[in-house]
Each structure stands twice: as structure tokens, then as C-alpha cells.
């Protein structure tokens, strides 16, 4: 669903039914104020209506939206959204549902921007085109490079070691300290960057070289690579790295190309590498599931959406201001017209292609989030799903964007569950535990995607070949050496910290069913 109309909402006059609470506080905001006052009011009032955990929010007076300030308007609004996210407590953890361990008080899921995410998910990035990864405390690597990006055009590849950034070699991991923050700011918050890189060569030697990059726009190909891996027992593994759930127009043709190739090669097993995929559009997640699911599951339940009680009861008022145009019929509609019941939000499988497999391996990490986790969870009741890697991000909730003046707010409005009622993975999915089959192990960015020496891919190859995840003594020794200074938990935390400025989410981009 592409948006064609941006709504300017100054929605404080819309709540005629506001009530006083017993302490005299009200949800009735002032009827005047500056444009920015009204924007801050709207952020809170929309959350009171649409936020999945709206029942945990205080009254308008108690919250006082106009008290949030910052060095600029977006900073002030971000503070407000962060504050909204901390009220509802998860009884399992005794912490907010949106508790974010690397930065307590910051929202784990909610955010507000000026349209950058919408642009990215529709297939265009504007950045350097690479991302860093701590292979160990003193080993910073390039974890991926987007084709056609500034990094790609400069010859940078996954696995290259980063020796210095902007002339600074103090880039070791320090648990979110000054060194880590320097790395984050340099690659995520700057328009230029200079790198000294170490390139491995075929004869085990290395070559150092320098590059300078400028931020630039480029088209995203979310399929970073796909290939066939032949095993020792004559089986064929189809391997694909899918790095972002961009729009169907952008992603589906690339997925079709890969899966048509897998089908033509008669693969026996499939490995989907989602280790750095932070999510995106739910319609693309559904498309990927439909390419993987057995044909016998066609027309059975894939998953369901669950909204808050106010929306289910059809009592939404502000959402009538959120106007969209149907991309097919071109008809205008709004979020107030929709049916938010479970019956109106049950998605069924619609098998794509002829690929027939009974088992799929997903490579995952702390950066695997939201639409990636949705893709995995949807398939769990329907075939053998194996996870390889480390604990995922933990985001079983998603959002549709809410337009407020020039801003777009993303707050969780729904939770998803698969056909077996499984969901609620707020602490993530851990391979090999908690009902998730597979094996936990370090991510290792020393090798390019698809290289059989990649530790996580090696597990899948070994399982297909020998039916076990056991690894060689040499690999065990390597892990033991690494674990002395960098645990899997630290590795995962580092990955999440480096990913914090990147989009993580599950965006509803389909047309809701209308209320009857």
C-alpha cells in the first residue's frame, strides 16, 4: 500500500468524549497553542487511541505532552514517544514492554521521523551502503555491503576488517562507551567517512587500503546473494541472504528470481539468511512465507493480527483523519473505517511457485527482528523450522504509520500470532531453546556470504550432510579462544547497539478490511 496523501493533523479538538478522572485530571487538551503544541498533543492523543498498550497510558494532564522539549522539534517528539513507550509493564519481565536494554528509557519499538523509513522501505537508501560488526572486542568488520552503494563502488566487501575510522584506531567494543559511540556516529550520523581497511587475499596474506565515502542514494536490492551449495551426500542447499523486507514492487521480483533458480536446481534444503534483517513490510514477509510453505497448506491460516480493545470495539475517532489511497482502485479511505477484529484480520497462505521442501533453516542474530521474526513464526506450525545463530531481537508487534504534520509516527498498534496461537516473543527467539529447534553459535563476519567456512552456514551444511549440528575440534578451540573475551551475549548486544540507528520494525502496508 503506497501512500499518496500526507495528513496534517492538529487533532486536539476531536475528543469531545474526553472524561475526567477521579483526581481531576482530564484527557481534554487546550484548544489553542502553537502548531508545535498541537503536534505534541496529537502524538499523545493518537497513542491513547491506537497504541497496542494504550490502557497503560495516563491522562493528558498527567502526561503533559507540551512539556517535552529538545534542541530541535524532532528531538522533542522523540523524547515524547520514548516516554509513551515506558508506561505499560510486561508482567513476565517486570519491565516495560518496550524496555531497551542498551539504553533504558529509550523505546525498543516506537519512533518518529520525517519520512525516511517510508523512503527506505520503498526501495531507496541514502547512506554509505555498508554496516559494521564486532567480530570480537578488537575486531571490527564489514558485515554487509549493498550492491550499487558508495561502499560497493569503492570495492568494499563483507569480511573486510576496519582498522580505523576517520583516522581514529580506537574503535574496539567498550559496552556502549565512547569507542562504540564513535563508530555509530561515524557510519550512521555523518555524510562523509574515511576508512582504513584490511583485505584478505587468497594466499593468507592481507592488504591494507584507504577509502573515503560520501552518503548517496541508491536502489536497494534486498537479496544480497543466492547460490547452490552441494553437500557430500549429494544433497543441494539453496542459500539466500535476504536483508530487508522492502516493498513488494522492489522485493518480490528479486525473491522470484532466486526461488525460480532454486526450483530449477531441485534443491533438497533451504537456508534463508536473515541475520541482519531488521524487518519491513508485512506483505513482503507473507510473500516469502508463501514461497517456502508446502503447497498442502494453501488456504490455511498463516497468522492473525490483534489490536487494542478500543479499536476492536470500533471506537476509534482520530484515525478517521489518516487518509490513504488504495494503490489498485485509487479510492480514498481512512484508518477509521477498518475492521480491527481478529475475524477481519486473519491471513491465509497462498502458495507461490512450485518449490517443495519439508525443512528450512533460518540464520539469525540480535539484528534479526520484526518482519523477519514474523516470517519464521508463521512457518513454525507447518514445516520443520531450524534456527541457527543467536537470540533474535524480540518484536512480535507491528505498526502502521500515523501522519502528524510533516512527521510520521510508528508505535505498536498490533501483535501477531501464528496459526497455533504462538507469539509473544518479546525476549526474542533463541535457537535450540524455548521451543525453537536449532543451535546457538557466534556470528562470524570473517567470510563472505555463502562461503562454507562461515560458522553459521557450516552448521546448516553439517546438519543436511550428517543430521547433526556437531562441529570440529578445531572450531571448538576457536570458539573457546573467542569466548574468553567476547561472549555470545556481548556479541549480540554489540550487534544491537550498532544497529540502533537502523530501521527495526514490521509495517502494515496492506488494505484493511472495512467494517461491515
Under a CB-based contact definition with an 8 Å cutoff, are residues 386 and 432 in contact? no
Under a CB-based contact definition with an 8 Å cutoff, are residues 130 and 156 in contact? yes
C-alpha 463/C-alpha 422 separation (Å) is: 26
Under a CB-based contact definition with an 8 Å cutoff, are residues 268 and 357 in contact? yes
Q: How confident is the model at residue 101 (pLDDT cuts 50, 70, 90)?
A: confident
Q: What is the CATH number of the domain that holds 151?
A: 2.30.42.10
pTM of the model: 0.91
Does 198 map to a domain? Answer: yes
C-alpha 413/C-alpha 99 separation (Å) is: 17
Q: Which three cell numbers stand for residue 42?
A: 496529537
Does 347 map to a domain? Answer: yes
C-alpha dihedral (146, 270, 287, 372), degrees to nearest 10: -60
Of the ranges 346-355, 389-398, 507-516, which one carries the lowest mean pLDDT score? 507-516
Does 355 map to a domain? Answer: yes
494 Cβ contact partners less than 8 Å away, ≥ 6 residues apart: 133, 134, 173, 180
Asked if residue 293 has pLDDT above 80, the reply is: yes
Q: How confident is the model at residue 175 (pLDDT cuts 50, 70, 90)?
A: confident
Q: What is the extent of the structural domain holding 238?
A: 223-305+342-396+416-507
Does 496 map to a domain? Answer: yes
H-assigned helices in 293-404? 309-312, 371-379
Question: Do 209 and 356 lie in a common domain?
Answer: no
Question: Do 365 and 459 lie in a common domain?
Answer: yes
Neighbour tally for 238: CB within 10 Å = 24
If one counts the domains in the chain, the total is 2
212 Cβ contact partners less than 8 Å away, ≥ 6 residues apart: 192, 193, 194, 195
Question: Do 131 and 269 lie in a common domain?
Answer: no
Asked if residue 70 has pLDDT above 60, the reply is: yes
C-alpha 77/C-alpha 441 separation (Å) is: 39
Phi, psi of 290 (to 5 degrees): -70, -25
Q: How much of the chain, in percent, has pLDDT values that exceed 70?
A: 91
Question: Do 490 and 385 lie in a common domain?
Answer: yes
Asked if residue 17 has pLDDT above 70, the reply is: no
In which region does residue 314 sit, left (phi positive, over 0), alpha (psi from -120 to 50) or beta (all else)?
left
C-alpha 28/C-alpha 25 separation (Å) is: 9
Question: Do 154 and 283 lie in a common domain?
Answer: no
Under a CB-based contact definition with an 8 Å cutoff, are residues 400 and 512 in contact? no
C-alpha 109/C-alpha 112 separation (Å) is: 10
C-alpha 63/C-alpha 68 separation (Å) is: 10
Question: Do 211 and 355 lie in a common domain?
Answer: no
Question: Do 269 and 136 lie in a common domain?
Answer: no
Mean pLDDT of the 145-170 span: 96
C-alpha 390/C-alpha 340 separation (Å) is: 34
Domain boundary pick from 185, 219, 253:
219
Bigger pLDDT: 68 vs 326:
68
Q: How confident is the model at residue 13 (pLDDT cuts 50, 70, 90)?
A: very low
Inter-axis angle of helices 248-264 and 282-292, nearest 10: 10
Q: Which three cell numbers stand for residue 259?
A: 526461488
In tens, the pLDDT along 332-356 reads 889 999 999 999 999 999 999 999 9
Question: Do 387 and 424 lie in a common domain?
Answer: yes
Question: Do 187 and 228 lie in a common domain?
Answer: no
Predicted pLDDT at 181: 92
Question: Do 206 and 230 lie in a common domain?
Answer: no
Q: How confident is the model at residue 493 (pLDDT cuts 50, 70, 90)?
A: confident
The beta strands (E) that lie in 321-440 are given as 323-325, 332-334, 346-348, 359-364, 384-389, 397-398, 402-404, 407-410, 414-418, 438-440
Q: How confident is the model at residue 473 (pLDDT cuts 50, 70, 90)?
A: very low
Under a CB-based contact definition with an 8 Å cutoff, are residues 311 and 301 in contact? no
- What per-residue string of b and e applies to 1-10 under the rule 16 or more CB within 10 Å gives b? bebeeeeebb
C-alpha 339/C-alpha 398 separation (Å) is: 17
Domain boundary pick from 219, 245, 279:
219
Does 497 map to a domain? Answer: yes
Does 458 map to a domain? Answer: yes
Question: Do 429 and 475 lie in a common domain?
Answer: yes
Does 38 map to a domain? Answer: no
Long-range contacts, 434-440 (Cβ 8 Å, 24+): 436/385, 436/387, 437/384, 437/385, 437/386, 437/387, 438/361, 438/386, 438/387, 438/388, 438/389, 438/469, 439/387, 439/388, 439/469, 440/389, 440/390, 440/391, 440/488
- C-alpha neighbours within 13 Å on the C-beta side of residue 341: 8
Domain boundary pick from 202, 219, 236:
219
Predicted pLDDT at 202: 67
Q: What is the CATH number of the domain that holds 236?
A: 3.90.226.10
Q: How confident is the model at residue 18 (pLDDT cuts 50, 70, 90)?
A: very low
C-alpha 395/C-alpha 402 separation (Å) is: 19
- C-alpha neighbours within 13 Å on the C-beta side of residue 164: 11
Under a CB-based contact definition with an 8 Å cutoff, are residues 271 and 460 in contact? yes
Question: Do 501 and 355 lie in a common domain?
Answer: yes
Phi, psi of 402 (to 5 degrees): -120, 120
Does 36 map to a domain? Answer: no
Mean pLDDT of the chain: 90
Q: Which of 62, 112, 54, 47 is nearest to 88 (CA)?
A: 54
Phi, psi of 305 (to 5 degrees): -100, 145
Amino acid at each position: 500500500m503506497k501512500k499518496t496523501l500526507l495528513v496534517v493533523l492538529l487533532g486536539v479538538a476531536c475528543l469531545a468524549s474526553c472524561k475526567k478522572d477521579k483526581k481531576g485530571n482530564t484527557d481534554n487538551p487546550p484548544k489553542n497553542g502553537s502548531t508545535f503544541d498541537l503536534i505534541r498533543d496529537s502524538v499523545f492523543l493518537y497513542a491513547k487511541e491506537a497504541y497496542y498498550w494504550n490502557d497503560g497510558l495516563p491522562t493528558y494532564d498527567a502526561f503533559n505532552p507540551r512539556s517535552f522539549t529538545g534542541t530541535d522539534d524532532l528531538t522533542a517528539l522523540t523524547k515524547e514517544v520514548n516516554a509513551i513507550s515506558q508506561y505499560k509493564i510486561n508482567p513476565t519481565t517486570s519491565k516495560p514492554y518496550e524496555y531497551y536494554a542498551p539504553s533504558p528509557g529509550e523505546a525498543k519499538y516506537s519512533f518518529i521521523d520525517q519520512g525516511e523509513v517510508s523512503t527506505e522501505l520503498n526501495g531507496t537508501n541514502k547512506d554509505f551502503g555498508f554496516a559494521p560488526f564486532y567480530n570480537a572486542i578488537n575486531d571490527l568488520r564489514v558485515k554487509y555491503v549493498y550492491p550499487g552503494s558508495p561502499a560497493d563502488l569503492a570495492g568494499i566487501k563483507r569480511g573486510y576488517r576496519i582498522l580505523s575510522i576517520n583516522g581514529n584506531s580506537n574503535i574496539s567494543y567498550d559496552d556502549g562507551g565512547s569507542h562504540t559511540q564513535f563508530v555509530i556516529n561515524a557510519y550512521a550520523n555523518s555524510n562523509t567517512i574515511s576508512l582504513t581497511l584490511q583485505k584478505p587475499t587468497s594466499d593468507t596474506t592481507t592488504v591494507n587500503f584507504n577509502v573515503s565515502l560520501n552518503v548517496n542514494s541508491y536502489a536497494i536490492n534486498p537479496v544480497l546473494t543466492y547460490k547452490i551449495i552441494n553437500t557430500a551426500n549429494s544433497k543441494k542447499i539453496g542459500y539466500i541472504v535476504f536483508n530487508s523486507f522492502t516493498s513488494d514492487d522492489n522485493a518480490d521480483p528479486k525473491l522470484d528470481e532466486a526461488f525460480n533458480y532454486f526450483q530449477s536446481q531441485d534443491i533438497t534444503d533451504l537456508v534463508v539468511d536473515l541475520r541482519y534483517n531488521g524487518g519491513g513490510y508485512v506483505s513482503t514477509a507473507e510473500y516469502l512465507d508463501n514461497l517456502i510453505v508446502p503447497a498442502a497448506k494453501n488456504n490455511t491460516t498463516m497468522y492473525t493480527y490483534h489490536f487494542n480493545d478500543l479499536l476492536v470495539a470500533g471506537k476509534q475517532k482520530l484515525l478517521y483523519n489518516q487518509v490513504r489511497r488504495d494503490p489498485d482502485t485509487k479510492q480514498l479511505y481512512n484508518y477509521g473505517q477498518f475492521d480491527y477484529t481478529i475475524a477481519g484480520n486473519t491471513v491465509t497462505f497462498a502458495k507461490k511457485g512450485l518449490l517443495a521442501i519439508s525443512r528450512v533453516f533460518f540464520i539469525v542474530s540480535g539484528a534479526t527482528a520484526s518482519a523477519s521474526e514474523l516470517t519464521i513464526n508463521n512457518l513454525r506450525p507447518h514445516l520443520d523450522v531450524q534456527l541457527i545463530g543467536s537470540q533474535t531481537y524480540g518484536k512480535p508487534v507491528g505498526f502502521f504509520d500515523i501522519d502528524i504534520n510533516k512527521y510520521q509516527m510508528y508505535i505498536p498498534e498490533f501483535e501477531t500470532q501464528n496459526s497455533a496461537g504462538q507469539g509473544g516473543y518479546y525476549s526474542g527467539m533463541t535457537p535450540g531453546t524455548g521451543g525453537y529447534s536449532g543451535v546457538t553459535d557466534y556470528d562470524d563476519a570473517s567470510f563472505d556470504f555463502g562461503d562454507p567456512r562461515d560458522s553459521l552456514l557450516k552448521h546448516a551444511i553439517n546438519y543436511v550432510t550428517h543430521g547433526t549440528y556437531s562441529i570440529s575440534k578445531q572450531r571448538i578451540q576457536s570458539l573457546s579462544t573467542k569466548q574468553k573475551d567476547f561472549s555470545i551475549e556481548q556479541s549480540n548486544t554489540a550487534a544491537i547497539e550498532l544497529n540502533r540507528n537502523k530501521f527495526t520494525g514490521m509495517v502494515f502496508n496492506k488494505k484493511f478490511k472495512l467494517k461491515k
